Chains A and B, each alone.
Chain A
Amino acid sequence: MLIFEQSKSGRVNTAQQPANVASVSDIPNEFLRNDKPLLPEVSEMQAVRHYTKLSTKNFSIDTHFYPLGSCTMKYNPRACNSLAMLPGFLNRHPDSPANMSQGFLGCMYDLQEILKDVTGMKEVSLSPMAGAQGEFAGIAMIRAYHDAANGGKGDPERTEILVPDAAHGTNPATATMCNFKVREIPTNSDGDVDIEALKEAVGPHTAGIMLTNPSTLGVFERRIKEIADIVHKAGGLLYYDGANLNAILGKVKPGDMGFDVIHMNLHKTFSTPHGGGGPGAGPVGVSERLIPYLPVPMVEKVGNEFQVITEKNNTKSIGRLSAFMGNAGVLLRAYIYARLLGRDGMIRVAEFATLNANYMMKELEKAGFELAFPNRKATHEFIVTLKKQAKELNVNAMDFAKRLLDYGFHAPTTYFPLLVPECFLIEPTETEAQDALDGFIAAMVEIQKEAETDAEKVKGAPYTLPVRRLDDVKAAKELDLTWKAE
């Protein structure tokens, strides 16, 4: 039942409202609203009960194993939330001057330093509000760099961004937003970038390349140094998509691989909550040559005092991408997480994420599932292809995914990357115990048996959730995007 269907005109929650409010008489009628907006009129208890009940219809990390590839659904420590919600942090106005903000700015400065260290980049700006905005910042910086070339005359021929065909959809979409043409680079059968194709693609029109390493195929790009050399020699810059940083945290630094600019997804690697799809945080780090272009605001330390750097100080900056300082509360959570982990804890993240992924990969292979890259080690994630099941049993990856929900597991990422047919991209993360991994593997084996004996059963899944499979075609054709009173 929708909240509107529980609403009754005239029901008022006086405790939540300001008391004794005088009516407004000094605003002319032409500016005023004369109808009541459709907001629910329910009691506090009705509201609490409704939204508490709704919450129980979700799978979440707190309730289920959630091995969603490329999303790093690791445990979100409670302390990160409760400490970021201390009143001193919640009540700080974003335009508070530095002398009223030393507590907050100190945390941000420290976080910048920590992120510089783990990425091997020279400078970091925390302000992008999500991975995709970090990407935008990165590509906008590459554009600004080329525009400043030749003594400020620019390098207008650099119109292309190279993107491997395995990349996240945000990569090409971002390049388009920055007015670059996208040129796809193929992947070879072992999951590495096709170096010969890359050599043919680069040239005076190359502005840069966007890479994820480990790639979205769940393998480490072994010839990354060679790729960096090829692109740099052609005059292009290298962009690192930090989606998979969890796999190499403290083990390899993108700065050492030759990247000029990177974004990090703090909601993945630094365990800030995904929140049902945001907020994220996508700080960017850069090599020496891109420092002037970093987005503002940033935090600097002058003597013992922390200050905010704005476009007024950094005139070459690509500017601000949010009204204030990005998703500050998310950044605080990431900072607390980083402090709890510390130096050794960071490295263990990569180690145990990789251990879990390789264990699951081997066990699934032993159980008869086909790996997309059987000759490679897994990073923090790996790919199973269900193309045989789709062809021989007419049970596809989506059917397996939906049936897994009945077994109490959130499905892995399905049908991404697009290169591998009927794929499952599986990322267990370091916070899952072996028992959980074994449970998932056992469920896969059971579903395989069901697919062999009763394919229709799998194809009809799920059965035990609040709804069965939904009609997406109807949803898109007969758009129903808002509730209307009968």
Chain B
Amino acid sequence: MPFIPHTEEDVKSMLAAIGVESIENLFDEIPAELRAEGLTKVPDGVSEMEISRIMSEHAEKDSRVLCFAGAGAYEHHIPAAVWEITTRGEFYSAYTPYQAEASQGTLQLLYEYQTMMASLTGMDISNASLYDGASALAEAVLMAIRANRKSKSKRILMPRTVNPKYRKVAHNICKGQGITFEELNFDMQGGHIRPDSLPKDPGDFAALVIPQPNYFGVLEDIDALTNWAHEHKALVIAVVNPTSLAMLKAPGNWGEIGADITCGEGQPLGAPLSSGGPYFGFMACRDTYVRQMPGRIIGRTVDLDGKEGFTLTLQAREQHIRRSKATSNICTNQGLLVTAATIYMTLVGPDGLTKVAQASHNNTENLVKKLEATGKTTRLFNRPVFHESVMKFDLATDQLMQEMSERKVLAGVDISDDYPELGNVMLVCATETKTDTDLQMYADLVAEITG
């Protein structure tokens, strides 16, 4: 029997110990009319050998694609040691570290992770992760409303340059609590929020969300936007790409006093693309807001003998204690992905992460140049970017995507649905994983298809 160790003899002796005749008797408290008549759509079980064949065939269908898509999920090289260690059973098959003494491995790792993320974001503290970048933004919005004591408003100012999927998720998760999102439009030349376009009298609002880089890959005027929000007594929620932080100014240093809450998608730090998950959301903040932070937080303390140890702390914020008054209903974090991210950051180090950021930036710039050289496409926005760029094509983007896909190239992400005013545009990304040959091949294909 798969994964069940009982022999017939075991079953007999256990039933005798219980004092029943059959396993079936153990279910006799369930009303007879509720008993299932069996399963119809679940197939018969297969062996490990058979499922290996089946899954290999499935995986093969989708494989060997050259990927120029980003838009919130980025292909980076992941050092071999990252998942070798992450999938050790002691990390992989452990539960939430409620029994701290039996979970020091996970707890110390999470404390190290919090330290790395706090430093990377320039914030005082970090939690131990949330589900993904989009839901982390939703949680950051809820947190900002709790934390902003100068405003009772439930209004959030949300630039349209924030990832449209993140905006949808934030809306879907927050709307039940009467929170409203007011969109700020972007400049058609720069692809950014112009500080001089901000309302003179915005009224009371709880927070301004600032993406860096924004969804178009473009760099926002973070200092001016941050200062403007603070002048109006609102908090600043930074949504950032963690790889970029090795190169770009940390949110803690934005404007005069820095962002208040920083969140984002942790996937670039060691998680494979994997169809969109599991990833992890990160969240960091100033220490004054620590009690408003959702999710698990690890603290360093001492044991009975005065020896250093680590434990879950500030649990009074959480659902298993506070129930209906908790800061969030969140229960799990994404522990395994954080394990991978911590090992990833350790292996690449500050120097390596900077190089990954620079190489991704340079590759994207090179790709844009090669694409523009075909004469069939132009860069849409004139502002500096991190590692993505919006390209405008002569051809309908869906047709281009289709023809490229037949050559096993994922050309980018078609964003015209979310931004119809931009026309035939595609968001393209070339991380450090792409070679010059890859970039040239992409440009040649575009020339050939639009020929």
Contacts and interface: CB of A to CB of B under 8 A. Distances in A.
A172 B133 CA distance: 25
Contacts of B276: 94, 322-326, 328
A257 B90 contact: no
A37 B245 contact: yes
A151 interface: no
Nearest to B249: A33
A38 interface: yes
A99 to B, nearest CB: 6
A322 B134 contact: yes
B301 to A, nearest CB: 4
Chain B CB count within 10 A is highest, among A11, A354, A410, for A410
B362 interface: yes
Interface string B90-131: 111111110111111110110110111011100011101101
B437 interface: no
Nearest to A295: B172
Nearest to B308: A467
Interface string B368-387: 00000000000000001000
A130 B331 contact: yes
B132 to A, nearest CB: 5
A12 B277 contact: no
Contacts of B322: 169, 173
A21 B362 contact: yes
A105 B95 CA distance: 29
Interface stretch (A198-206, A270-278, A284-292, A448-456): A270-278
Contacts of B93: 60-62, 73, 75-76, 273-274
B62 A129 contact: no
B405 A97 contact: yes
A42 interface: yes
Interface string A14-47: 0011100111101110111111111111101001
Interface in B17-45: 17-20, 23, 26-31, 33-36, 38-45
Interface string A95-139: 111011111101100000110111010000000011111011000
A351 interface: yes
Nearest to A466: B104
Contacts of A224: 31, 34
A161 to B, nearest CB: 9
A380 B326 CA distance: 29
B189 interface: no
B423 interface: no
B346 A47 contact: yes
A352 B69 CA distance: 46
B198 interface: no
A16 B352 contact: yes
Contacts of A346: 39, 42
A79 B51 contact: yes
B99 to A, nearest CB: 5
Interface string B151-169: 0000000000001011011
A417 to B, nearest CB: 11
B348 to A, nearest CB: 5
Contacts, number: 676
B90 A102 contact: no
Nearest to A47: B346
Interface stretch (B72-80, B201-209, B230-238): B72-80
Contacts of B88: 52, 55
Interface stretch (B4-12, B180-188, B439-447): B4-12
Contacts of A341: 2-3, 45
Interface in B410-437: 410, 413, 417, 432
Interface in B207-261: 219, 222-223, 245-250, 253
A342 B43 contact: yes
Nearest to B83: A85
Contact of B14 (A129, A326, A355): A355
Interface string B302-343: 111101111101101011111111101111111111010011
Interface in A447-486: 460, 462, 465-472, 474-476, 478-483
B292 interface: no
B449 interface: no
A92 interface: yes
A67 B105 CA distance: 20
A219 B85 CA distance: 39
Interface string A325-340: 1111110000010111
A89 B311 contact: no
Contacts of B313: 472, 475-476, 479, 481
Contact of A470 (B45, B116, B302): B302
Given A2-B108, A275-B336, A475-B313, A114 B17 contact: no
Contacts of B336: 273, 275-276, 278-279
A176 B324 CA distance: 6
A480 B405 contact: no
Contacts of A56: 90, 105
B332 to A, nearest CB: 4
A401 interface: yes
A164 B61 CA distance: 47
Given A96-B69, A276-B106, A358-B18, A342 B42 contact: yes
Given A16-B79, A23-B358, A62-B92, A4 B29 contact: no
A261 interface: no
Contacts of B316: 476
A355 B278 contact: no
Given A88-B62, A140-B176, A323-B132, A402 B101 contact: yes
A278 B34 contact: no
A225 B298 CA distance: 43
B115 A59 contact: no
Given A28-B384, A36-B350, A330-B277, A355 B26 contact: yes
Contacts of A30: 223, 249
Contacts of B145: none
Contacts of B339: 51, 275-276
Contact of B45 (A48, A322, A344): A344
Contacts of B410: 93, 95-96, 100
B48 interface: yes
A74 B72 CA distance: 34
A17 B247 contact: no
B36 A252 contact: yes
B395 interface: no
A92 B273 contact: yes
Nearest to B363: A18
A31 B213 CA distance: 10
B57 interface: yes
Contact of A467 (B43, B265, B309): B309
Contacts of B408: 100
B34 A252 contact: yes
B90 A343 contact: no
B51 A12 contact: no
A426 to B, nearest CB: 14
Nearest to B110: A276
Contacts of B275: 89, 92-94, 101, 104, 324-325, 328-329
B104 A251 contact: no
A170 B17 contact: no
B298 A79 contact: no
B197 interface: no
Nearest to B415: A95
Contacts of B432: 18, 21
24 contacts: A27-B384, A33-B249, A42-B346, A42-B349, A48-B81, A51-B342, A58-B91, A59-B103, A62-B93, A79-B48, A88-B59, A129-B131, A129-B135, A136-B173, A169-B321, A170-B329, A178-B176, A222-B31, A250-B38, A278-B96, A278-B131, A340-B51, A344-B44, A470-B302
Q: 8 closest A-B pairs (Cβ-Cβ)?
A: A342-B45, A324-B276, A62-B89, A275-B336, A88-B59, A94-B276, A88-B63, A103-B61
